[in-house]
Structure 1
Amino acid sequence: MPDSNMSDLETMEDFRTTLSLEENLSQSTITAYCSDLEQFFEWLRSRNLTFSCEMDESLFTEYFLLISEYRKSNTANRKLSSLKKFFLWLSSKNLKNKNPISNLKSLKGVSSFSSVLSVEQVELLLSAPDVTKDLGLRDRAILELMYASGLRASETANLLFSSCMLNDGVVLVRGKGDKERIVPFGLAATSWLQKYISTSRRNILGERSSKYLFVSRRANCLTRQFLWKCVRQYCSKVGLNNACSPHVLRHSFATHLLNNGADLRSVQILLGHSDIATTQMYTHLAKDHLVSIHKMHHPRA
């Protein structure tokens, strides 16, 4: 039975603790879950309803249809996923007798995986920073590494200086769930990282020190939000005005590997996916590329 004395805030804090301690999720993932739940609680209050009231599927259908009107399908689906995870947790803790949201289906829509840059567009983006300036050279090294290794924005921002092994051409990454993986980054990224480390990083830090590979002008660790803003600004600078983000670079990394013959299992390891089904979502992009190549070059296409 639900605890009628338990407030929304107390329930949220218990859920946050579970995500952090038991599931070992990153802080940004936990924040996203809780933000989605806070929005739902606010909607309940606007209808003079409380968390402890009886809820059925029709209530959630109404809410989901409402947010679907104002959000992209993948955003609405993410919010639905947050609610499903929350109510599954409530059921497991006997805070709700039943899970009223378990059968609600996600929207069918354009997957975020459809946003992929061509090789030519990537080259254009990589050339955007002004490498005659310290911060521009830093940004070029960031973009090169993200595309060469498929790192998430949070992984890039939190990279330790000691994790970058230039001589071996690999970086030790701490990803989702605090899992570590080693990812190679190739000669081009190595060259730009060497330039950044030997000149710009030293100039930015001055007499200060930092354990992080990429640092701000104040010698602080960069943030995930900064990297998203950085990528979007450089995309806009070179005329790539469609949805462009660190995740698009990650999608492009995976798709270009598959287009050039990499096997799915290897791409899964490089991306740090725990489930190969997640990696398989990239294969339709590679397939579309191969189909277009076939149509363009085969005499009987």
Structure 2
Amino acid sequence: MSIQKTIDRARLGEKLPEMPWYVQQFIDYKLPDLSPSTLLEYVRDYESFFNWIRAEGLSAAPALKDVTLEELESLRMENITAYRLYLTTRTEGTNSRTTVTRKLSALRSMFHYLSQIAEDEHFYPLLKRNVMAKIEIKRTNKPKDTAAKLKGKILEEEELTSFIDYIREGYAADVANNKQALYAHAKNKERDACIASLILNSGLRVSEVINLNMNDLDLGNKLLHVMRKGNNDETFKTPVYYRDQARLNLERYLALRDTEYAAPKREKALFLAVPNGQKEGKRMTKRAIQAMIIKYAKRFGKPYLTVHKLRHSFATDYYLQNDIYKTKEQLGHASTETTEIYAHLTDKTMSEAIERRGNEE
């Protein structure tokens, strides 16, 4: 099981006893199909909703676990509309349209289960009236819209290798007057360049990168064994190929992994960091990798660049040489609908390349 899944499963176990019994039953029903991370988000969404109906006087429950099915049955369309409005306009923690859609979808999924699948001892539905069935939830992110938002915010063509070279060499010149930054860079530049190179040459998600172990790596075949997002078979890892440039960066990092990061024999993680005040290397965290990429991106002149945009950068470049189905498999997408983003992005990339070629002639 991945590190994050282990953490999220523990958090899920802590939160479930605070929920009504029927929520616990729904989560048990979905457990074989959804990851602990997704189910934890569901529970958090229900926590928000139940707290809201209690605050609005729509439930007399003294605690979350006491919200009754009868109180859910008595909700009206105007209540759901008010909740949607609350999510989008509250002064603290205002949600994006995508987040609101996800929260309402989580509610609709549970209400559907309670009214259409779950039964009481007399074989009747647990929920006799389902107000969420009346709610229309429109898709907020179409591939074309997502592509438009990414326009100009990913690395293209020679920028992919330039960014890796900058991490290894160029950054030092930009922080020449900062001894602390220079020291940290000298210590971590091979590791940092390797992580960026691996994403830019394979399209891995950051969660997949942090979960990599030493025995997941096959240098000879330029292959990684990856715990893919959405795969609930915890015994199976998907083989993912990477380009030759990543192999060269991996070799440079591996040559110093054990000594530079004081890697204990028990530590299986591929990418390590030595926490402040400690002597032994430990698995890098998701937050550390995200902060690392942002640090280099700002100095590189691409302040909008993030770890996930490195993945988009690889995918756009990969799609130019391959079809949508190969790109889908390489990225681990559940459907080609998500991969369509790169069809829209490469249309723009190719048209700009043609214009540049025309200007050069």
TM-score range, shorter chain: 0.7 to 0.9
CA positional deviation for 1:108 = 4.2
Contact 1:210 1:220 in 2 (8 A): yes
Deviations 1:224-262 (A, max 9, x none): 3333333333323333222x432222222212222x231
Contact 1:273 1:279 in 2 (8 A): yes
CA positional deviation for 1:162 = 0.6
CA positional deviation for 1:215 = 2.0
What letter is aligned with 1:177?
N
What letter is aligned with 1:74?
T
Distance 1:232 1:85 in 2: 36
Equivalence for 1:64: 84
Equivalence for 1:3: none
CA positional deviation for 1:12 = 4.1
TM-aligned CA distance change 1:219 to 1:84, over 3 Å: farther
User: With CA pairs under 8 Å and 6+ residues apart, which has the higher RCO, 1 or 2?
Assistant: 1
- 1:164 and 2:184 matched: no
- 1:248 and 2:305 matched: no
Give the alignment of 1:21-170 within 5 angstroms: 22-25=32-35, 27-50=36-59, 51-52=67-68, 53=71, 54-69=74-89, 70-91=94-115, 92-93=117-118, 94-102=125-133, 103-106=135-138, 108=140, 111-113=145-147, 114-115=149-150, 116-119=153-156, 121-129=159-167, 133-170=186-223
Larger radius of gyration: 2
Q: 1:17 aligns with which of 9, 24, 28?
A: 28
Contact 1:209 1:219 in 2 (8 A): no
**Structure 2, unpaired ranges of 5+:** 1-16, 60-66, 119-124, 170-184, 275-279
SS across alignment from 1:171 = strand
Contact 2:146 2:341 in 1 (8 A): no
Give the alignment of 1:191-206 within 5 angstroms: 191-206=248-263
TM-aligned CA distance change 1:201 to 1:237, over 3 Å: farther
What letter is aligned with 1:64?
R
TM-aligned CA distance change 1:155 to 1:298, over 3 Å: same
Provide the aligned length of Structure 1 versus Structure 2.
290
CA positional deviation for 1:192 = 0.9
What letter is aligned with 1:143?
A
Equivalence for 2:175: none
What letter is aligned with 2:83?
Y
Distance 2:301 2:23 in 1: 42
SS across alignment from 2:256 = helix
**Structure 1, unpaired ranges of 5+:** 1-5
Contact 2:271 2:283 in 1 (8 A): yes
Q: 1:221 aligns with which of 279, 283, 295?
A: 283
CA positional deviation for 1:209 = 3.3
Distance 1:68 1:122 in 2: 38
What letter is aligned with 1:276?
T
Equivalence for 2:19: 8
Contact 1:74 1:112 in 2 (8 A): no
TM-aligned CA distance change 1:60 to 1:187, over 3 Å: same
TM-aligned CA distance change 1:7 to 1:135, over 3 Å: closer
SS across alignment from 1:133 = helix
> Which deviates more from structure 2 when the two are superposed, residues 285-294 or residues 128-137?
128-137
TM-score under structure 1 normalisation?
A: 0.82
Deviations 1:69-110 (A, max 9, x none): 433333333333333333333333244334433442236468
Contact 2:167 2:193 in 1 (8 A): yes
TM-aligned CA distance change 1:66 to 1:240, over 3 Å: farther
Contact 2:222 2:244 in 1 (8 A): yes
SS across alignment from 1:182 = strand
Q: 2:341 aligns with which of 281, 284, 294?
A: 281
SS across alignment from 1:205 = coil
TM-score under structure 2 normalisation?
A: 0.70
Contact 1:201 1:215 in 2 (8 A): no
Equivalence for 2:329: 269
Q: CA RMSD in A?
A: 3.0
Distance 1:16 1:223 in 2: 28
TM-aligned CA distance change 1:207 to 1:172, over 3 Å: closer
TM-aligned CA distance change 1:81 to 1:172, over 3 Å: same
